[in-house]
Amino acid sequence: MTNPAKRAEELRQQIEHHNYLYYVQAKPEISDREFDRLLEELKKIEQEHPELITLDSPTQRVGGQPIAGFKTVKHQLPMLSIDNSYNPDELREFDARVRRGLNKGEQVTYVVELKIDGVAMSLTYEDGKFTTGATRGDGERGDDVTHNLRTIPEVPLRLRTKKPPQLLEARGEVYMTLAGLGRVNRERIAKNLEPYANPRNTAAGTLKLLDPRQAAERKLRLFTYSLGAVDGISVRTHLESLKLLKDLGFPVNPYVQECSSIDEVITYCLSWNDKRHELPYETDGMVIKVNDLDQQRRLGATSKVPRWIQAYKFEAEQAVTKLAHIELSVGKYGELTPVALFEPPVQLAGTTVSRASLHNAAELARKDIREGDMVVVIKAGEIIPQVIKSLPESRTGSEKVFVFPKTCPVCGAPTIKEEGNTSYNYRCTGLNCPAQLAGKIESFAKRDRMDIEGLGEKLVAQLVESGLVRSVSDLYRLTDEQLLTLDRMGKKSAQNLLKGIQESKDRGLARLLSALSIYGVGESMADQLAQEFHSMEALIGASEERLAKVKDFGPVRAKNTHTFLHSAANQKLISKLRDLGLKMTEEARQAPAASFLAGKTIVVTGTLKSFSRKEIEDLIKELGGKAAGSVSKKTDFVVAGEEAGSKLDKAKELGVKVLTEEEFQKMIGR
Residue 311's identity, in one-letter code, is A
Give the integer Cα–Cα distance in Å for 603 and 640: 8
Q: In sequence order, what E strands does 478-517 have? A: none
Residue 115's identity, in one-letter code, is K
Give the integer Cα–Cα distance in Å for 497 and 452: 7
390 phi/psi in degrees, rounded to 5: -95, 170
Q: At what angle do helices 178-190 and 199-207 cross, to 10 degrees?
A: 70
Give the integer Cα–Cα distance in Å for 285 and 643: 55
Query: Is there a cis peptide before residue 78, judged by omega within 30 degrees of 0?
Result: no
264 phi/psi in degrees, rounded to 5: -65, -40
Question: Per the residue annotation, which of 43, 115, 243, 609 is the catalytic one?
Answer: 115
Helix, coil or strand: residue 575? helix
Pairing mode, strands 601-605 and 309-313: unpaired
**CB-based contacts of 415: which residues, under 8 Å, 6+ apart?**
336, 404, 405, 406, 407, 408, 426, 427, 428, 429
**CB-based contacts of 62: which residues, under 8 Å, 6+ apart?**
150, 151, 212, 213, 216
Give the integer Cα–Cα distance in Å for 336 and 428: 7
| Own/partner pairs, 531-539, CB within 8 angstroms, 24+ separation | 531/586, 531/588, 531/589, 534/509, 534/585, 534/586, 534/587, 534/588, 535/509, 535/584, 535/585, 535/586, 536/509, 536/512, 536/574, 536/578, 536/584, 536/585, 537/584, 539/509, 539/513, 539/565
Q: What is the DSSP string of 401-449?
A: -----SB-TTT--BEEEPTT-TT--EEE--TT-HHHHHHHHHHHTSTTT
Q: Do 479 and 497 meet the contact criterion of CB atoms below 8 Å apart?
A: no
DSSP annotation of 176 reads -
Give the integer Cα–Cα distance in Å for 616 and 628: 12
- 130-146 burial, b for 16+ CB within 10 Å, e for fewer? bebbbbbbeeeebbbbb
- Closest among 249, 355, 240, 270 to 88, alpha carbons compared: 270
**CB-based contacts of 534: which residues, under 8 Å, 6+ apart?**
509, 585, 586, 587, 588
Residue 95's identity, in one-letter code, is D
Q: Any catalytic annotation for residue 115?
A: yes
**CB-based contacts of 670: which residues, under 8 Å, 6+ apart?**
63, 64, 65
Pairing mode, strands 309-313 and 84-85: parallel
Pairing mode, strands 626-628 and 637-640: unpaired
Helix, coil or strand: residue 168? strand
Active site residues: 115
